């Protein structure tokens, strides 16, 4: 075993190594012990932080804007080092404090006949990746950006779904969910790179800690090749597929996930609120992260159920008289706490304003909550989201305008497509909200459009028929 004398601190020595990391991930300065560790990982001062675990914690602290403290184990030559890392936003950089420096037995996945098959470097994987036990990326090949058009450092600390989307039919999806829940090895799962849509195959072996517990995945990605076209790499495989979700699949997903996710969210919220007694501040913050992740998954379940509904050929909504100004005020009220936490103001229609229209109350509320939520998410601190309701001829109109970075003209069609987002690396939704919202609007004989330009904010416009328009439609032969 190689001995790193600089890593051995007596138990009573509270040695802490400091480092400063720019918000783009570049290591600005560091104490010698961290410089040495980073150098062995292939980095240097003035270049992106090269130790994946430290980079992931730094990125998480930057993304959440809070102090993140957690333990991690880093492989260094032939030993593993158990560290405690504290990352704190500090102006235009992130400050790291690293302590512990205790050698532990290296974690090794148990030997398996599949090891030779899944030796990702030996089999020519196009990209390598690793996750921690919570399936958040801790390493992505640094040349991925050049080859596949995304920033590997921006993915660190994010779920693996930020890099790839599984591309599976109903039976495959059930098998994949079962493999992930059981923490089993993955073999050649069909997937697509987020953003580019390039088809790939995903494989991974499990890692285990010194006690045999699941510690994450070590995996590889192969770009799909079309063997019938001569086997040339990079040729996307053609495969017949259906974009529609089976009602049986979405119903099963809803039943299987909703109750356990709701319990996770409730318990995590309780820990964060310290309802049962005080807990350490960083653990309370972790509980908040868990609750937010649970809510995100619940929203995904809701979206998948809605997706299956709106794509049915016989999907219809029964129109009724509604007041879209009132619904807009209700939607803004539901998001008032989120807006206040983000330091974003929401200007809603006046309380005496009333705009009559025809539509489905619940679905219009769903559309406006989605639009206002997106506007709050992408608004700068101190910005204002303006919600207005008007009548234009035989159309009732609700406009949600923000002061965010806007949407370029080239992306304005794409954002209404299924599973599409302007920047998949940003924290946010799953690329279904606007697709479902437009389908719902059109099912009510209305529409959802955008008026925006890059750097100038965005205006989403929901239009619905008025009673006069509906009467005219009914009298037409």
269 and 327 part of one domain:
no
Cα separation, 372 vs 378, in Å, equals: 10
**Final residue of a domain: which of 290, 310, 330?**
310
User: What's the pLDDT at 23?
Assistant: 86
- Domain around 258: 247-310
287 and 203 part of one domain:
no
224 and 352 part of one domain:
no
154 and 200 part of one domain:
yes
Tokens of residue 174, six digits: 């059930």
Cα separation, 263 vs 249, in Å, equals: 22
pLDDT bucket at 368, cuts 50 / 70 / 90: very high
pLDDT digits (tens, 9 = 90+) for 322-334: 999 999 999 898 8
pLDDT digits (tens, 9 = 90+) for 80-117: 788 888 889 988 899 999 888 877 665 444 444 334 33
User: What's the pLDDT at 239?
Assistant: 38
224 and 251 part of one domain:
no
463 and 324 part of one domain:
yes
Query: 16 with 99: CB under 8 angstroms?
Result: yes
347 and 412 part of one domain:
yes
Query: 391 with 354: CB under 8 angstroms?
Result: no
pLDDT bucket at 348, cuts 50 / 70 / 90: very high
305 and 325 part of one domain:
no
Look up the CATH number of the domain holding residue 48.
3.30.450.20
Number of structural domains in the chain: 4
Q: Tell whether 114 is covered by a domain.
A: no
Angle between helix axes 247-272 and 170-181 (nearest 10 degrees) is: 30
**Final residue of a domain: which of 272, 292, 310?**
310
The answer for residues whose C-beta is within 8 angstroms of residue 261's C-beta and 6 or more apart is: 294, 297, 298, 301
76 and 222 part of one domain:
no
Using the predicted structure, report yes or no on whether residue 452 has a pLDDT greater than 80.
yes
**Final residue of a domain: which of 265, 283, 310?**
310
Cα separation, 343 vs 205, in Å, equals: 43
Q: Tell whether 260 is covered by a domain.
A: yes
293 and 403 part of one domain:
no
DSSP state of 26: B
Query: 106 with 99: CB under 8 angstroms?
Result: no
Neighbouring CB atoms inside 10 A of 337's CB total: 9
Q: Tell whether 17 is covered by a domain.
A: yes
Query: 167 with 199: CB under 8 angstroms?
Result: yes
Cα separation, 279 vs 367, in Å, equals: 38
Q: Tell whether 236 is covered by a domain.
A: no
295 and 335 part of one domain:
no
299 and 348 part of one domain:
no
């Amino acid at each position: 075993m190689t001995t790193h004398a600089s890593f051995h601190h007596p138990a009573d020595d509270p040695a802490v190594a400091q480092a400063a990391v720019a918000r783009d991930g570049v290591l600005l300065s560091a104490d010698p012990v961290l410089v040495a560790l980073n150098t062995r990982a292939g980095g240097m001062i003035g270049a992106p932080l090269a130790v994946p675990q430290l980079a992931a914690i730094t990125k998480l602290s930057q993304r959440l804007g809070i102090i993140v403290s957690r333990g991690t184990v880093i492989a260094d030559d032939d030993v593993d080092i158990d560290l405690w890392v504290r990352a704190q936003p500090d102006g235009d950089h992130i400050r790291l404090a690293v302590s512990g420096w205790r050698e532990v037995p290296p974690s090794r996945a148990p030997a398996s006949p599949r090891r030779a098959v899944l030796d990702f470097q030996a089999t020519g994987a196009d990209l390598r990746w690793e996750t921690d036990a919570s399936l958040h990326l801790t390493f992505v090949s640094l040349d991925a950006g050049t080859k596949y058009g995304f920033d590997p450092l921006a993915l660190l600390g994010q779920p693996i779904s930020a890099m790839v989307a599984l591309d599976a039919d109903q039976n495959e999806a059930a098998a994949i969910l079962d493999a992930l829940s059981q923490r089993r090895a993955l073999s050649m799962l069909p997937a697509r790179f987020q953003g580019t849509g390039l088809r790939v195959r995903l494989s991974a072996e499990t890692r285990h800690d010194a006690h045999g517990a699941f510690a994450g995945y070590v995996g590889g990605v192969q770009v799909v090749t079309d063997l019938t076209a001569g086997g040339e790499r990079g040729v996307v495989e053609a495969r017949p597929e259906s974009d529609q979700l089976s009602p049986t699949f979405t119903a099963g997903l809803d039943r299987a996930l909703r109750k356990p996710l709701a319990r996770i969210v409730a318990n995590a919220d309780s820990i964060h609120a310290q309802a049962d007694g005080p807990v350490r501040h960083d653990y309370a913050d972790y509980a908040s992260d868990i609750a937010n992740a649970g809510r995100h998954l619940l929203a995904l379940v809701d979206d998948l159920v809605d997706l299956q509904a709106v794509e049915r050929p016989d999907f219809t909504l029964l129109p009724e008289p509604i007041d879209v100004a009132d619904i807009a005020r209700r939607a803004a009220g539901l998001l008032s706490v989120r807006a206040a936490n983000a330091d974003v103001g929401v200007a809603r229609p006046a309380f005496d304003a009333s705009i009559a229209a025809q539509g489905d109350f619940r679905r219009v509320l769903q559309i406006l909550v989605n639009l206002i939520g997106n506007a709050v998410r992408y608004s700068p601190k101190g910005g204002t989201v303006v919600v207005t309701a008007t009548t234009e001829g035989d159309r009732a109109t609700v406009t949600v305008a923000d002061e965010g970075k806007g949407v370029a003209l080239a992306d304005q069609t794409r954002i209404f497509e299924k599973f599409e987002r302007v920047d998949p690396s940003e924290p946010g939704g799953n690329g279904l909200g606007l697709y479902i919202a437009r389908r719902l609007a059109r099912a009510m004989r209305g529409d959802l459009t955008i008026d925006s330009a890059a750097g100038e904010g965005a205006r989403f416009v929901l239009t619905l028929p008025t009673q006069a328009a509906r009467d005219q439609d009914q009298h037409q032969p």
